[in-house]
Each structure stands twice: as structure tokens, then as C-alpha cells.
Structure 1
């Protein structure tokens, strides 16, 4: 099993890089896709920050989710694919099509290539956004893997894109998979050690708190360490029980952002001196969102209980994540250590 080759898509991504670390540490050979090969040095440097000098256990190939070119070569000779490449909030997306089409088409492009290459199983990095968005307050909590986001409700386009992209992947497997297996990992807000200046959008929450933002919106979220998300990907890749299953990745119960602020103040010391747990009234957040597009995306989340359980991953795959507090603190400490806090 070790020494088999795994394709990890989107090699510049935060989760993808930790997945590469986990795979290489377990003896796998990894190939990863990047949109420009000039970023190879950066990716290798990030893996070294995580303690892995990949050497010839890691190779790179250029492939873009918006193009067919490169994908057949990317999957050639791979036993598994960990597919995490997907559009993330960058500020470039304007219309619904900007979000949805790349996510859906990208998933299908990777799945077709994987099927053609005889890949055993694809592990899709989905998101809690495909589970817990758009629901009424009366919907039962905690959410679990049987839930799908209600995209007819008030949802951020990022969450809509993740929902439609994951649904398209399952439909492809059911109709055209020809025996290829699929598993999905649906993380909540992904925390943990940052490896460089390019990290997931969830990390900005901690960075903004450390840099002294004036208050926190009344928003609730689950939290999980990226190293545990990577471990869950590997378990979902290898365990026979994972075929055809979705797995929530979260550590314990959800937290309000004010709780996150208090954890930072209690655990991080003087570096968290500017962190405030002052909760902003919803009307102030709504007013600010009129001129701040980034804040506008938070409006559907105000006051919503987003608690979700990872009991399935723990029971079926033996997954045991770090605590949510340790994940949050590891994020802050890595940002400070790498000089990424202003």
C-alpha cells in the first residue's frame, strides 16, 4: 500500500499541503497539481516548515480546473486522488456563475480523468458549507452527514458552489463512475499551523482578532485542526468502510466568535493583548456590510447555531481530532511565529 502514488490536487492549498505531509509521512509518493509550476519551490518550503523534506517523493504537474489539459497526465499511475482544488473566496468572484461553474466543472473534470486512469478511490474535500447552510433555526441540531445545505434559502454563493459541486460528484459516481469509489470530507472552519503566507480564508478570522478588530459578529462555527483534516482524508482514502460516505470534520461543539476571542486571550498571552470579545450588535454588522462585500457574506450566518457532529468519522474510521481550543491556539502561534500578524 505504501509507495503507491496519490494525486493531491491544488498543491498550493492549505489543506492540500497538510494532506501531502500526512501522505508522505505514511510512505506514499505524491504528485500534485498547480496552475503555475513556478510555485513548486514555495510548496516545498511550506512542507519543510511542517517538518517534511519531500525530495523525490513529491512531483508537480501543471493542471487547471478550468481546462482539460494536464489532467490525464496528472492522474496517470495514481491509485488514489485527494481532490481539494476548488474556488475559494478571493474577491474575484462577482456572479453566481463565477462561483458555481468552476466548482462543478472542476470536480467533474477530475473525476472523469480519474475514472479513465483506473483510480481506486477519490477523496473529495467538500465543506460544512454543503451541509449546514440555508436551514431554518427550527432544523434539528447538531447537523450531520445526512444533511444537505438548502440552497433555496439565504446562502453565501461559496456555500452554494460547494453544495452543487459535491452533489455533482456523487451524481457522477452513481451514473458514470464505473466502479470508482468516492468519499467526501466536510470540514468546518479549518485551523492549525499555517505554513506560509498563503493559507485558508478561515485563518483570517484568527489573524483579524490578533490584529485588534474592533468587535466580533454574533457568528457560530465548528473548528478543526488542519492536521486532523489531513488525517481524516487519509483514513477516508484507505478504509474500506469509507467508500460512498461523507464525513464531517469538526472537533467538539461549535463556538461563537466571542468564545474564540476568549480562548486566544487566555492561552496566547501578550500576543493576544489586542483581541476583543466585544460582540457587535447585528444591526451594526448589517450596516457595515453595505459597504464591505467581505462582511456581506456573513449576514446569513448571524445568530445561527451551526453545531455539527463528527461522531460518524470517530465511530467508523477511528478518527480522534485535537480539541478545538488547541486548534485555535496552534493557528495563532503559527501566525505569530511566521511574522504574519501586523
Structure 2
């Protein structure tokens, strides 16, 4: 069994990954931006039913500072770099996202290399794969890269592409033989363990609470957080994964309207407020002129991005849950934990 450093242990994906590592018998070191979050992580691991929670060590380290990273990486065999800055709102300048994402990844890679770590698994994103291209009937694969200068590339999307590119460049020029694997998940759904969860789950939250009165004409790819955690661990241990990228998605894209209908069908009364109507694209474009939070969605209206998960399935024997199961698990957990009133 290995000693594994998981960055961002208090996050949605980080906590699920730690739980699976413990279940597999590994020892875990994890970083938190503040040690005040330690109790939150312990509660989430307990909620996940993770055994051996005494095998988790905690270090305070922030992606924006060098402090703490050398100590956190000391003595570990592998690093799963999951922590990533995510915007609460649109930044005034894109570099407010790009620089922390890029420099944070390099900071972790540098600490891992100096500690003699053999392999780092980097949580990148489909945002680094499938954006900035003209609409086309195509299927994106791991060979594709987002065109950061293309149309409709928001600062967050650009930050993920720039950060992953910088990580591969580091490995080539300064890695000193350290291996890198990139995992590129789409929208992450699945059971929440606490009040910290992915932005994708906020879609489910808005549907269940009635805040989303009509479903916009937006399509998304989905994947269950438990399957993303599993793919990280498979990528960490498989000899064939070194130097590879892996897209993490369940299957075909689904529309927000399809998600709402799935919730109504599978949850019954608990999803009674999920939208039954679709909002026309022209209306959302009109409203975006007066509603800043809608502007980010306008380039995505009516756009369907398809991607392939064959590489992860074939090379790593990965078998993800369905779109429907991922969406319903999200909703079930929000209801069960009483998070809909937040």
C-alpha cells in the first residue's frame, strides 16, 4: 500500500478520493487551505463510511503560497493534485484565475519532484479539451486541446487549459523523470458529503428548490464523483497510464430539460419543483444584457459537445455509472442532508 498526497481534501472530489484510498488500504496525506477545515473532512469521511480514518494526516497549504508544500510532499509515493481555484463570480481580469491555477499546479509539481515522488495525477478538466472550436459534429478525445483564443472561452475554461499545458511542459523540461497523468472530467455530479460540492450540483439544487423555473437550452456531459475518484486511483497505479490524459464522462450529453425530467421521474414529490418548461435561447440572450450572471451561459446555448470515454474504459478498465444514476445520486444526497434550504 502507498502513502498518497491528496491536495484539496475538503473539496467534493478530494473527500471522495480520500475515502476510496482508505477503503483500498492506502495511507493518505491531505492539504487544506486552513486547518479549520479538518473537522469538516473528518465528518465527510465518516459520512462516506471510510475505514481507517486515523490513517489521514493533515497539512495546511495554499496554492497561492510555497508554504507547507515541501512538508506535505515529504515521504509520499504518489500525488493526486485535485485542489484548484474556482471562481465565485466572474473575475475582473482573467489572470485572477489563470495565474493561480497555473502557478498552483507548478508549485505542487515542484514539491513532488523535490520529494522524489514517482507519479502525479493531475485533475484537469474537459475545459482543457473541448472549447474554443467552431461548432461541428465531432467527438472530442484526449488528443484535443481547447483553443484558448477561440470564441466563447471563459476565464475559468482558459485557466484549466493553461494550467494543464504548464504541467506537461514542466514534466518535459524540469520533471527529472517524474511521471504525470491528467484526468479530464466533465461536469461532476454524484452524492455530496457536505455543503462543499461542485458547481454542477448547483444545477440540481436550483431545480429542486424551484430557483430554476425554466430549463435553459444547455447540454452538459456528466460523470459521478465516485467514478472520477476511482479513475484517479486507477491512473495512479496503472503502469500504462504514465504520460496519458483520460477523459472522464458517463456517456452522451444530456440537456438541462432531460435532467429535470429524470429528477421528476425518479424522485417524485421531492422533485416537484423541477422545471417542466424550457426557456427559449432568444429570451436568455436578451436577459443577459441586463443580468451579468447569464452572460457566461450565452455561448453555451444550444451547443452540444460530445466526447469519448473509450480510452479510460479500455486502458484502465474503468466503468462509470450512467448519467441518470449520477444525477439522481446528487439529488438524493441534497435531500438526505437537508441542504436544499441553504
Structure 2 distance, partners of 1:292, 1:51, is: 42
The answer to whether the Cα contact below 8 Å between 1:259 and 1:277 also exists between their aligned partners in 2 is: no
The 3 A distance-change label for structure 1 pair 142 and 277 is: farther
53, 56, 72: which one pairs with 2:54? 56
* Cα RMSD after superposing both structures: 1.2
1:143 aligns with 2:140: yes
Shift of 1:54: 4.3
1:320 aligns with 2:290: no
1:41 aligns with 2:39: yes
181, 188, 192: which one pairs with 1:190? 188
Q: Which residue of 2 aligns with 1:5?
A: 3
TM norm structure 2:
0.97
146, 149, 152: which one pairs with 1:152? 149
SS at match of 1:268: helix
Shift of 1:53: 4.7
Q: After superposition, where does 1:1-342 map in structure 2 within 5 Å? A: 2=1, 4-91=2-89, 93-138=91-136, 140-153=137-150, 154-212=152-210, 213-342=212-341
SS at match of 2:18: helix
Structure 2 distance, partners of 1:294, 1:7, is: 36
SS at match of 1:107: helix
The answer to whether the Cα contact below 8 Å between 2:23 and 2:51 also exists between their aligned partners in 1 is: no
Gaps of 5+ in 2: none
Structure 2 distance, partners of 1:79, 1:38, is: 26
The answer to whether the Cα contact below 8 Å between 1:207 and 1:341 also exists between their aligned partners in 2 is: yes
The answer to whether the Cα contact below 8 Å between 1:47 and 1:54 also exists between their aligned partners in 2 is: no
Q: Deviations over 1:229-251 (max 9, x none)?
A: 00000000000111000000000
Aligned pairs, how many?
339
SS at match of 1:224: strand
The 3 A distance-change label for structure 1 pair 237 and 255 is: same
Structure 1 distance, partners of 2:276, 2:76, is: 47
Structure 2 distance, partners of 1:97, 1:87, is: 12
Gaps of 5+ in 1: none
The answer to whether the Cα contact below 8 Å between 1:156 and 1:300 also exists between their aligned partners in 2 is: no
Shift of 1:277: 3.6
